[in-house]
């Protein structure tokens, strides 16, 4: 798992209350069913950090193995 955390002043819906924008990329593990599980767990975790569920936004990205590089190669 790769995690990067960036903080910035954000406003959504006219409010500067804590907000989270997540990008979850995976090879072969992005499906409608799994995405619901990921969304629930990530939202719960962010809730523990003070971010209300209605201020959590998640972008799920299914990446082809040939489009992800590592160690001078790709995963395909």
Tokens of 37: 């599980």
Q: What is the pLDDT of residue 1?
A: 59
- pLDDT above 90 covers a percentage of the chain that reads 83
Q: Where are the domains of the chain?
A: 31-74
Q: Which pTM does this prediction carry? A: 0.85
What CA–CA distance (Å, rounded) separates 22 from 65?
Answer: 21
Question: What burial class does residue 49 get, using C-beta atoms within 10 Å of its C-beta: 0-12 exposed, 13-18 middle, 19+ buried?
Answer: exposed
| Confidence tier at 52 by pLDDT (50, 70, 90) | very high
Between 22 and 5, residue with greater pLDDT: 22
- Return d(Cα 4, Cα 22) in angstroms, integer: 10
What is the mean predicted confidence (pLDDT) over 37-56? 96
Q: How does pLDDT run across 30-41, given as a tens digit for each residue?
A: 999 999 999 999
Sign of CA dihedral 8, 15, 53, 24: negative
């Amino acid at each position: 798992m790769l995690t990067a955390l960036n903080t910035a002043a954000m406003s959504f819906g006219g409010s500067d209350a804590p907000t989270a924008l997540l990008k979850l990329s995976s090879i072969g593990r992005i499906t409608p069913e799994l995405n619901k599980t990921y969304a629930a767990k990530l939202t719960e975790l962010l809730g523990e950090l003070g971010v209300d569920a209605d201020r959590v936004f998640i972008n799920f990205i299914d990446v082809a193995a040939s489009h992800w590089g590592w160690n001078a190669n790709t995963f395909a």
